[in-house]
Amino acid sequence: MQPESERPVTPAAATGRTVSPAGALLRPLVRWESALVLLLIGTVILSTQLSANFTRSGNLFYIGLNVGEIAIMALPLSLIVITGEIDLSVASTLGLSGTIMAWLFAHGLGVWPAMVVALLFGVVTGAFNGMLVTRVGLPSLAVTIGTLTLYRGIAQIIEPNNTIGGFPTYLTNIGIIPIPHTQIPYSVAFFAFFAIVVGVVLHATPLGRSIFAIGANQETAFYSGIRVKRIKFCLFVLSGVLCSLAGILWTLRFGAARYDDGTGLELYVVTIVLLGGVSIFGGRGTIIGVVLAVAILATLEEGLTLAQMPSQNQNIVVGGLLIASVIIPNIGELYGRGRDRARRFGAGAAGSAAATAAEAPELAP
């Protein structure tokens, strides 16, 4: 018989609890993704109640159209947040890439080469973020807040006043017509393709396990042989490329580009990622959760728009979702961190009291 000290410790043994067969069967039903499915159903019901036009034929196209580019940007950000980092420059990269493509096209470059150059600029912006985070060692929050403003400023320098348009009709049609014989926008098709690729990589490859390991404990991952800096750098580059693709699709959808395209979209992107169950502390998340969060936000936004709710009120709803998506999935972790902090504080206070008592002179009777 294996000695008790050498037996593997199971979660049930570690907590002193036994898991019943019924509990094992119910465990998949209480996952965050299951809650998101229920929330999506509730959102559809609510939107139907808010406006009878929600169920009209063809509305599915507009639901997807309004969130396609945002959903594409959410995929690489999900990977970055799982590693314990953040990228808040996603919307500025979208605006910069669209502006660069439009400016080059307006100055005589073909539309397809202009798209390629815009994607290359996405590589540059992502690499710049990644270099500052992984090589210089700066916090990703501070870095991407800075590049958020930097990239937007560069776009404004390139084209400060005018709206640049004139793209070929066969390209601008992707924003006003669905894929033939469907109600699916082209941007949603791109998102679905990349979601499958990212999902397979994250959940079924050694690279995906490395991403989770980095988020769970970066130092342990490093000493386990995982190339932490290289992986993080590549994820920031991927973010730059996909945000540039989103910028191209955004520009073609509206048929024109301005330097302020996508302003404020980072709020929606972060909301999708966190609502999808990706932990703000890193180390946890699923792509299916992100996909469900995209569907929830798209449905809710369309329902509120059809109900003629002002955009500032919609921002309040999105902000509330963002706060809830940070707190609710992480209640257990937040409680554990608070308990550990209180325990350390109590131990420190007890140690200080004991040291003070030992150093105090003994009083004579």
pLDDT of residue 148: 95
Quote the distance between the C-alpha of residue 42 and its chain's center. 23
- What's residue 356's pLDDT? 61
Question: 314: how many CB neighbours lie within 10 A of its CB?
Answer: 15
pLDDT in tens, 121-176: 999 999 999 999 999 999 999 999 999 999 999 999 998 877 888 898 888 888 78
Cα separation of 254 and 314, whole Å?
Answer: 22
Give the per-residue pLDDT at 1: 43
Say what the pLDDT of residue 357 is: 58
pLDDT along the chain (365 residues), means of 10: 41 42 46 88 89 80 90 96 95 95 92 95 96 94 95 91 85 86 91 95 94 93 92 96 95 90 91 91 91 92 84 81 78 69 68 59 49
How high is the pLDDT of residue 334? Answer: 66
Q: What angle do CA 11, 14, 19 make, to 5 degrees?
A: 50
Contacts with 233 (C-beta within 8 Å, 6 or more apart), sequence order: 127, 130, 131, 133, 134, 135
Q: Where are the domains of the chain?
A: 63-307+318-325
For every residue of the chain, which 3-state class applies, written as one string?
Answer: CCCHHHCCCCHHHHHCCCCCHHHHHHHHHHCHHHHHHHHHHHHHHHHHHHCHHHHCCCHHHHHHHCCHHHHHHHHHHHHHHHCCCCCCCHHHHHHHHHHHHHHHHHCCCCHHHHHHHHHHHHHHHHHHHHHHHHCCCCCHHHHHHHHHHHHHHHHHHHCCCCCEECCCHHHHHHHCCCCCCCCCCHHHHHHHHHHHHHHHHHHHCHHHHHHHHHHHCHHHHHHCCCCHHHHHHHHHHHHHHHHHHHHHHHHHHHCEECCCCCCCHHHHHHHHHHHCCCCCCCCCCCHHHHHHHHHHHHHHHHHHHHCCCCHHHHHHHHHHHHHHHHHHHHHHHHHHHHHHHHHHHHHHHHHHHHHHHHHCCCCCC
pLDDT at 332: 66
Q: What pLDDT is stored for residue 112 in this prediction?
A: 95
What is the per-residue pLDDT for 30?
57
Measured from the Cβ of residue 104, the count of other Cβ atoms closer than 10 Å reads 20
Write down the architecture of domain 63-307+318-325 according to CATH: Orthogonal Bundle (1.10)
